[in-house]
Amino acid sequence: MRIKKGVGELGCVLKSKFRGQGYMTIAMKLAIEFGFNEIGLTKIIAITSKQNYDALKLLERLNFMKTADLPDDDIEFNFEKINE
Ligand SMILES: CC(C)(COP(=O)(O)OP(=O)(O)OC[C@H]1O[C@@H](n2cnc3c(N)ncnc32)[C@H](O)[C@@H]1OP(=O)(O)O)[C@@H](O)C(=O)NCCC(=O)NCCS
């Protein structure tokens, strides 16, 4: 995938024994903060499948906004930096 300047894509995988405890929510918040404040991103995208309920819940918990239905049952989400 080609990614425009200032736009990053974030993906994540947690070992199953560590799931269900909020660790990835914390890790994703740190990664988003790093992307915006340290490497100058203005938008972060995440793509997951419609059947990946845990990933959908995670992205919704983090306030990612659904932006597109993609081929192969995937969904794209965006998280944009709010200008102060
Ligand atoms: C996607 C994935 C990382 C989500 O893992 P997860 O454990 O559900 O996410 P978190 O670590 O944020 O934990 C959230 C869970 O912990 C619970 N939790 C407990 N304490 C919490 C806290 N302080 N903060 C947030 N959630 C907390 C939440 O209620 C939630 O549980 P629930 O799903 O039963 O409601 C994991 O399913 C995974 O690795 N999947 C395989 C790879 C994958 O599909 N990646 C996504 C591609 S984008």
- Distance between CA 36 and CA 50 in Å, rounded? 27
pLDDT digit string (tens) for the chain, length 84 residues = 456 789 999 999 999 999 999 999 999 999 999 999 999 999 999 999 999 999 999 999 999 999 999 999 999 999 999 876
Nearest to 45 by CA among 20, 84, 74, 8: 8
What is 7-80's CATH topology? Aminopeptidase (3.40.630)
For the record, the structure tokens of 43 come out as 């938008």
Instruction: Tell which one of 9, 15, 24, 77 to mutate to probe ligand 1, the residue whose CB is within 8 A of the most ligand atoms.
Output: 24
Q: What is the pTM (predicted TM-score) of this model?
A: 0.94
